[in-house]
Chains A and B, each alone.
Chain A
Amino acid sequence: MAAEKTTIFSPETAARFDKLVTIYPVKRSALVPMLLYAQDDIGYISDAVVAEIAERIGITELDVRNVLSYYSMLRTKPVGKYHVQVCTNISCMLRDGYATLDQCKKKLGIGHKETTADGLFSLEEVECLGVCCWAPVVQVNYDFYDQLTPEKLDKVLDDYREGRGKETK
């Protein structure tokens, strides 16, 4: 329905949404996947994203916000180009995850849920990323860096800063 209308999403995402709303027994089941794809596309869940998704599914914006606010992985504010997520849950903590976090803070000069002035990096302390066997672990956008040592972490961040990092959204 919204395909002919103006959309804030990229053509691929818009096409994907057109399909998504048709494949569930009730339309609103498409909400969480749509929010995730929208976040990948736009970078965060803006008011405009909320409005368009609500319209596409035929629910209220309030309904969208109720779900959106439940999940910490859905963001309502923009993040840096490289979003660094540091795990400090138990396995990583035992393998000095907090030191990893501190190192990131120091190196990037930002704190939890902050973004560098140049918009290149943002940092977030997160719960378990599911890579306990190779703790400590950091996730940059969708890429994992595990069994980190201070040197390894430095290299990872430097690579990204110098434009040598993996470019995934």
Chain B
Amino acid sequence: MGLLTEKKANEDYIIIIGCGRLGANLASTLSDEGRNVLIIDKNKDAFRKLSPSFEGLTVNGDATELDVLQEAQISKASVVIAVTNNDNVNIMVAQIAREMFQIQRVITRLYDPEREYVYHEFDIDTICPAILSAKEIDKILSETGMSKCEFQEEKQ
């Protein structure tokens, strides 16, 4: 933890919960950008997904336990990102971070967009892969559609 205390608290300290593909990727990228990153996962082997250049910290434990979050010094975090593969865990951790530790910036990944309902009033940023993918595919479709139109216009 010495690494963190050297810098001023709250300035730039990102906690990522869940070291899956998304969590590990994000942690590695942010660490490469020179930011303070701590990643939590209950499965120790998950940390192997981190890139060799990852310079942040890892905590092995269940992030739904308050003790584990305290060990990660969550109250000093500027951002908490919940990206485990379990929506309900992400929802609970996000609400704990916001309500118990007053973290202003909380970002969550939810597979099921309908569950966002439960913390709607908390103003937690939610990423939903299905919706993002649909938008992206729709964009590609409309782009190809547009190019068709243009092609036809040119012909006329």
Q: Do A and B bind each other?
A: no
Chain A contact residues, CB within 8 Å of chain B? none
Chain B contact residues, CB within 8 Å of chain A? none
